[in-house]
Amino acid sequence: MKYWDEHMECMDRNNLQEIQFKRLVETIKRVYTNVPYYRKKMQERGIIPEGIKSLDDLRKLPFTTKQDLRDNYPYGLFAVPLSEIVRIHASSGTTGKPTVVGYTKHDIGIWSEVMARTLVAAGADKHSFVQIAYGYGLFTGGLGVHYGAERIGASVIPISSGNTRRQIQIMVDFGTTVLACTPSYALYLAETMEEMGIDKSQLKLKSGVFGAEPWSENMRKEIETKLNIKAYDIYGLSEIIGPGVSFECEYQCGMHINEDHFLPEIINPETGEVLGEGEYGELVFTTITKEGLPLIRYRTRDITALHYDRCRCGRTLVRMEKVIGRTDDMIIIRGVNVFPSQIESVLLEMGEVEPHYQLIVDRVNNLDVLEVLVEVSERMFSDEVKKLEQLEKKITKAIEETLGISVKVRLVEPKTIERSEGKAKRVIDKRKI
């Protein structure tokens, strides 16, 4: 099986655009009628749904940002009554407020469908055993892949993340053929296998779908060699749906966007101007089939370029290149979104440290690690070592509770973190991606 939905995935572009326009107009009517926030924004611009006459008119509509979701926390942007929301997910927020995402039964169906396309493109079918080592819970990764795998009739192994040796044992015993996790965790699994004396020939693995963090072509080669699989890149974000927004095919020349559901644009992040094919800029999505949380021109902050030529695989769905960077200060560590401002707010609450800090991100043994350097006050630094150790533990606990991932905190003496006249260099990313 090469496609899950050949009709949609290989559709003539003119026909696809007709479907996109019809769905776009329906979505704009829905948000104008049901979401006061969007109605107000559109009225301020003198826009009514009937004024949208073509796909090009999309650029007349206002942008939506992560901040807009926070300002309307938790349910202010939902377009249906809460009685119709069957699932709520959330992604991490800068100041403790997460970004809340609601799904109707229809939305869960769409999510299953786009993930079915993603998995089939990676070689999965009803005979596959899909081991899902993404986190389950409020994070969209685990359940997103889970529903797609069930949709194609595959056997799902919902193991979630962590417990690495058990993961490997289950891979061997259960005959896992498709692995779904972050790319760095895939490499960690490979290394742990070596430690356990398990050879890749003992596995039945054929492919892997890896996402939730940036990774390089070199890392892909390493994963493919060490696990003897084909490694596929997938892209998604909770606000749009979760995993399944775009996926690689066997030719691995960009990720096909499921654009019958998610309408992409590339803009100049400074001016908001729409850029042409092949130009690098910020990726923007408008959801055109979602009911619970339809978003208009959502700014992802991810930098990429789009290519519209037909792929060798036969799909006509537009391809996005690997994300090459972000326009904000967010960093992704082990699939978790981390903002320096989250750490800043924790430190400011402490009071015993200076507001000077630095985040050092590195990849050790193929896993992302975060070290936080924190300057202590002159008074604290002259205190006994025991007090400093207690403070270090206290800060570590507070930051880990806020971020939901483990961190290493290192207290440093006053004035050791480099000062800057411009924007403070809060993050040093040593990962070779």
Domain of 296: which CATH number?
Answer: 3.40.50.12780
Q: Is the pLDDT of residue 143 over 90?
A: yes
Closest CA to 323 of 241, 235, 245: 235
Same domain, 34 and 106: yes
* Mean pLDDT on 290-295: 98
38-72 confidence digits (pLDDT tens): 999 999 999 999 999 999 999 999 999 999 999 99
Give residue 352's pLDDT.
Answer: 76
Phi, psi of 135, rounded to the nearest 5 degrees:
-70, 140
- Per-chain mean pLDDT for the chain: 92
| Cβ–Cβ < 8 Å for 183, 213 | yes
Angle (CA) 307-216-338 rounded to 5° is 95
| Cβ–Cβ < 8 Å for 275, 259 | no
Give residue 27's pLDDT.
Answer: 98
User: Cα-Cα-Cα-Cα dihedral of 335, 337, 339, 344, to 10°?
Assistant: -80
Question: Among 327, 360, 385, where does a domain finish?
Answer: 327
Closest CA to 60 of 49, 76, 71: 49
Same domain, 219 and 82: yes
pTM of this prediction?
Answer: 0.83
Q: How many domains does the chain have?
A: 2
Same domain, 286 and 336: no
Q: What is the DSSP string of 155-185?
A: EEE---S--HHHHHHHHHHHT--EEEE-HHH
Residue 377: pLDDT band (50, 70, 90) is confident
Distance of CA 230 to the CA centre of its chain: 21
Residue 94: pLDDT band (50, 70, 90) is very low
Same domain, 18 and 138: yes
Same domain, 149 and 12: yes
Domain residues for 217? 1-327
Q: Is the pLDDT of residue 419 over 70?
A: no
333-367 confidence digits (pLDDT tens): 988 888 787 887 788 787 777 667 899 999 988 88
Same domain, 354 and 317: no
Task: Compute the chain's Rg from CA coordinates.
Answer: 23
* Mean pLDDT on 377-395: 83
Q: What is the DSSP string of 203-270?
A: ----EEEE-SS---HHHHHHHHHHHTSEEEEEEEETTTTEEEEEEE-TT-SSEEE-TTTEEEEEE-TT
User: Cα-Cα-Cα-Cα dihedral of 413, 416, 420, 424, to 10°?
Assistant: -60
| Cβ–Cβ < 8 Å for 148, 115 | yes
Question: Among 272, 295, 327, where does a domain finish?
Answer: 327
Same domain, 354 and 388: yes
Same domain, 261 and 350: no
Q: Which residues, in sequence order, are bridge partners of residue 281?
A: 304
The domain that holds 383 is classified in CATH as 3.30.300.30
Same domain, 202 and 275: yes
Same domain, 261 and 235: yes
Same domain, 313 and 415: no
Question: Among 327, 345, 379, where does a domain finish?
Answer: 327
> Is 401 buried (19+), middle (13-18) or exposed (0-12) by CB count in 10 A?
exposed
Same domain, 213 and 263: yes
Give residue 422's pLDDT.
Answer: 44
